[in-house]
């Protein structure tokens, strides 16, 4: 039995089609959604991600502002850029691409973003709302994963889900979103004892390690019919790959995401969705 590929490109397209309609509607009401991105330094992967985000915005009619800042920038200077975007009424969403250079404090930077413009859902305000089941702007990769489950009508109630990531960007928001769907969630990390055993017991595995020298999800680690969501993106044998050995996993799983073409496009689609939500909030239109 071969499992079903969860195709992020197709699902992201369907999300984008909905967003395009919402953007047109907002424009009729006099609101032209705008996303400002802030890229610090010259990390090539980050530059590519930001470029893709701009391209996707263009596709759905969202305008963008591009702030490329030198890696030598000080915290005060970066704070100043964020403050000016916070007070610019033409800007509805602010995205500071991570990671940031060492001299910059990530927490201070994220916290500086106005919560109603926080299209990454990473400010303490929005992370707290999510934990209290009152989320408005949710981190893009986690909400993209949830959209994939929805698209395939996968009911998570009572499922044993193993998360292999505990970051603010992925693991923690996913934990709350999965709990809301009545899943039983186990969050694993580098100090977890017997990760393989946890994986073998799981109905759903969501993995986001991103370093094949440290971790690889192989087919002997999953049970027959498991669902595997691979959030990681890394280079392996000179090719882009995730944590999972997709070709073998798909022979045993009921559903699995490929890399590339899985979760990645969903992250971008959900950013567009959050930008539309933020633009609606700015005019008190709701989402």
Q: How many residues bind ligand GUN (CB under 6 A)?
A: 9
Q: Does 209 bind ligand GUN (CB under 6 A)?
A: no
φ and ψ at residue 227, rounded to 5 degrees:
-110, 130
Q: Does 222 bind ligand GUN (CB under 6 A)?
A: no
**Which residues carry out catalysis?**
53, 97, 120
Residue nearest to ligand GUN as judged by C-beta position? 98
The minimum distance between CB 28 and ligand GUN, in angstroms, equals 30
Q: Does 275 bind ligand GUN (CB under 6 A)?
A: no
* Tokens 């610019």 -> residue: 88
The minimum distance between CB 78 and ligand GUN, in angstroms, equals 13
Return the residue of 11, 82, 94, 96 that touches ligand GUN, per CB under 6 A: 96
Asked if residue 98 lies in contact with residue 106, where contact means CB atoms within 8 angstroms, the answer is yes
Rounded Cα distance, 264 and 232, in Å: 9
Q: Does 274 bind ligand GUN (CB under 6 A)?
A: no
* Tokens 């005060």 -> residue: 76
Q: Does 98 bind ligand GUN (CB under 6 A)?
A: yes
Which of 115, 99, 92 lies closest to 283, judged by CA? 92
Q: Does 69 bind ligand GUN (CB under 6 A)?
A: no
Q: Does 267 bind ligand GUN (CB under 6 A)?
A: yes
Rounded Cα distance, 82 and 120, in Å: 14
The minimum distance between CB 236 and ligand GUN, in angstroms, equals 18
First-to-last CA distance in the chain? 41
The minimum distance between CB 53 and ligand GUN, in angstroms, equals 9
Q: Label the pairing between strands 239-241 and 234-236.
A: antiparallel
Q: Does 120 bind ligand GUN (CB under 6 A)?
A: yes
For residues 166 to 185, the per-residue mask of contacts with ligand GUN, x marking binding by CB under 6 A and - elsewhere, is ---x----------------
* DSSP symbol at 5: E
Return the residue of 82, 95, 226, 263 that touches ligand GUN, per CB under 6 A: 95
Region at 60 (left for phi over 0; alpha for psi -120 to 50; beta for the rest) = alpha
Rounded Cα distance, 126 and 137, in Å: 6
The minimum distance between CB 15 and ligand GUN, in angstroms, equals 15
Asked if residue 243 lies in contact with residue 128, where contact means CB atoms within 8 angstroms, the answer is no
Measured from the CB atom, is 22 or 140 closer to ligand GUN?
A: 140
Only one of the segments 8-16, 95-103, 149-157, 158-166 lies at the binding site for ligand GUN (rule: CB under 6 A); that segment is 95-103
Rounded Cα distance, 247 and 242, in Å: 12
Residue 236 pairs in a beta bridge with 239
Q: Does 140 bind ligand GUN (CB under 6 A)?
A: yes
**Non-local CB neighbours of 266 within 8 Å, separated by 6+ positions:** 8, 11, 12, 15, 140, 141, 144, 145, 147, 148
Alpha carbon dihedral 231, 149, 245, 97, in 10-degree steps, equals -10
The minimum distance between CB 22 and ligand GUN, in angstroms, equals 21
Footprint on this chain of ligand GUN (rule: CB under 6 A): 95-98, 120, 140-141, 169, 267
């Amino acid at each position: 039995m071969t499992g079903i590929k969860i195709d992020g490109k197709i699902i992201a397209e369907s999300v984008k089609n909905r967003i395009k309609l919402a953007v047109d509607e907002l424009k009729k009401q006099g609101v032209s959604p705008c996303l400002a991105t802030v890229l610090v330094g010259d990390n090539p992967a980050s530059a590519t991600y930001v470029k893709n985000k701009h391209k996707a915005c263009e596709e759905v009619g969202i305008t963008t502002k591009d702030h490329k800042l030198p890696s030598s920038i000080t915290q005060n200077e970066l704070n100043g850029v964020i403050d000016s975007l916070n007070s610019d009424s033409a800007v509805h969403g602010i995205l500071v691409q991570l990671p940031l250079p060492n001299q910059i404090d990530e927490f201070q930077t994220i916290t500086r973003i106005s919560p109603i413009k926080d299209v990454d859902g990473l400010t303490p305000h929005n992370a707290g709302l999510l934990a209290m089941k009152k989320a408005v702007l949710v981190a893009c990769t986690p909400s993209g994963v949830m959209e994939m489950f929805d698209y395939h009508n996968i009911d998570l109630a009572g499922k044993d889900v193993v998360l292999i990531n505990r970051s603010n960007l992925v693991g923690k928001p996913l934990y709350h979103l999965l709990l809301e769907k009545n899943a039983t969630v186990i969050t694993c990390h580098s100090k977890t004892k017997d990760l393989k055993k946890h994986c073998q017991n799981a109905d759903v595995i969501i993995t986001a390690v991103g370093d094949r020298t440290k971790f690889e999800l192989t087919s002997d680690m999953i049970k027959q019919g498991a669902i595997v969501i691979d959030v990681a993106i890394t280079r392996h044998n000179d090719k882009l790959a995730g944590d999972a050995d997709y070709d073998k996993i798909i022979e045993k799983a009921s559903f699995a995401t490929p890399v590339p073409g899985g979760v990645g496009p969903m992250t971008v689609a959900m950013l567009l969705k959050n930008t539309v939500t933020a633009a609606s909030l700015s005019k008190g239109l709701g989402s």
